[in-house]
Chain A
Amino acid sequence: MTAPWIDGDTSAAGLAIAVGCGAAFGAALERAGLGSARKLVGQFYGTDLTVLKVMLSAIVVAMLGAFWLGQLGVLDLARVAVPETWLAPQLVGGVVFGAGMAIAGLCPGTSCVAAASGRGDGLAVMLGMFSGVLVTGLAFAPLRALYEATARGPLTLSAWLGVPYGAVVLAVVAIALAGFGIAERIERPA
């Protein structure tokens, strides 16, 4: 049967798979040391580029897997949800989010891993994140114009650039490999 196998993702089976995927995700983040705020912020001071290495390797593996399973007809990519593009709010939201990450030392996912491994600072970040989402949601009216600006739908880089899917995949692999080389050079003590 062509993947994805489950359609209704809030069925009992779907939710059991959610817990399973989450557990594997959390374990991977913990093994990499990304539940540690001091290790994570090393990224922004050039001392420990684990964040970049983990993110880019994960993206490359999942991207290559999705591409090849799609080519082989195992995975129907039309049924895999591509996160939608909203240019202005994602640009502004991204800068704000990044600043918050440097202050907090953790991101939303890694704050859960930090808290689960006994860190009080992880719990503080989780509570802050929850409060931020709650207050922003309650005071949503003035943000709505920005939130709904510049919608582009599930736009992919290949559709946007007019370049074949495989060529973009190859380019991302090349960028990741270059990124790994630069990361190793930055980390090496001078």
Chain B
Amino acid sequence: MTCERRPYADPYVTGACLGLVLLAAFVITGRGLGASGAFATTAAGLTHAIAPAQAEANPYFARYLAGDGPWRDWLLFEIGGVALGGAVSAWAAGRLRGQIERGPGARSPARLVLGFAGGAVMGLGAVLARGCTSGLALTGGALLSVGAWLFMLAAFAGAYLAAPVLRRVWR
């Protein structure tokens, strides 16, 4: 076994492969990929487990409780696959190792706090937009959805507006 960490693959080749995976999802199931929906269905399911009446009365969570219920959700299984595929790929390339990745301007505790805070802000944005970079931008982008392209432009604008403020954290 070699412990050498291999460099990342070419972005155009991996992007094209990702496109073929997305196309396969369209052809096999008639739906695209996603991520934020798995977080939403988990939030709805946990709320329902603790306070069933409140969850069912909540107009946002109620949608995830309908049909087969919050735990038998396509995106929840898909995101489990994402973690599995990411772990296997990292292991095969010698990149699987415990670490807290951070920019030179943030110590590890600060990085974790900022990661959590940034994640929470993304959660708010993803609820409002009904999706994230995977389910809305990628999937909708390929299907030429107006909302997907609007979201993509808005997200890049938001990130570029916030980036100068965070320069000392990352650079």
Chain A positions near chain B (C-beta within 8 angstroms):
3-7, 9-10, 14-15, 17-33, 35-39, 41, 43-45, 50, 53-63, 65-66, 69, 74-75, 79-87, 89-109, 111-122, 124-138, 140, 143-144, 146-147, 152, 154-158, 160, 165, 168-169, 172, 180
Judged by DSSP, the binding face of B is helix
Which of B14, B17, B122, B152 meets A132, CB within 8 Å? B122
Which of B39, B60, B108, B128 meets A130, CB within 8 Å? B39
Do residues A108 and B122 form an inter-chain contact, with CB atoms below 8 A?
yes
Do residues B158 and A97 form an inter-chain contact, with CB atoms below 8 A?
yes
Do residues B131 and A83 form an inter-chain contact, with CB atoms below 8 A?
yes
Which of B15, B23, B133, B135 meets A32, CB within 8 Å? B15
Q: Contacts A45-B171, A130-B42 given; indicate if A87 touches B147 (C-beta within 8 A).
A: yes
Q: Contacts A19-B80, A22-B81, A99-B162 given; indicate if A83 touches B143 (C-beta within 8 A).
A: yes
How far, in angstroms, from A84 to B150 measured CA to CA in the complex?
A: 12
Which of A79, A90, A124, A132 meets B154, CB within 8 Å? A90
Query: Interface residue tally of chain B, by bracket?
Result: 35 or more
A184 to chain B, nearest CB (A): 10
Which of A26, A81, A101, A155 meets B122, CB within 8 Å? A101
Which of A21, A50, A61, A93 meets B33, CB within 8 Å? A21
Q: Contacts A83-B139, A84-B147 given; indicate if A75 touches B26 (C-beta within 8 A).
A: yes
Q: Which residues of B contact A146 (CB under 8 A)?
A: 128
Do residues B150 and A85 form an inter-chain contact, with CB atoms below 8 A?
yes
Which of A10, A24, A66 meets B142, CB within 8 Å? A66
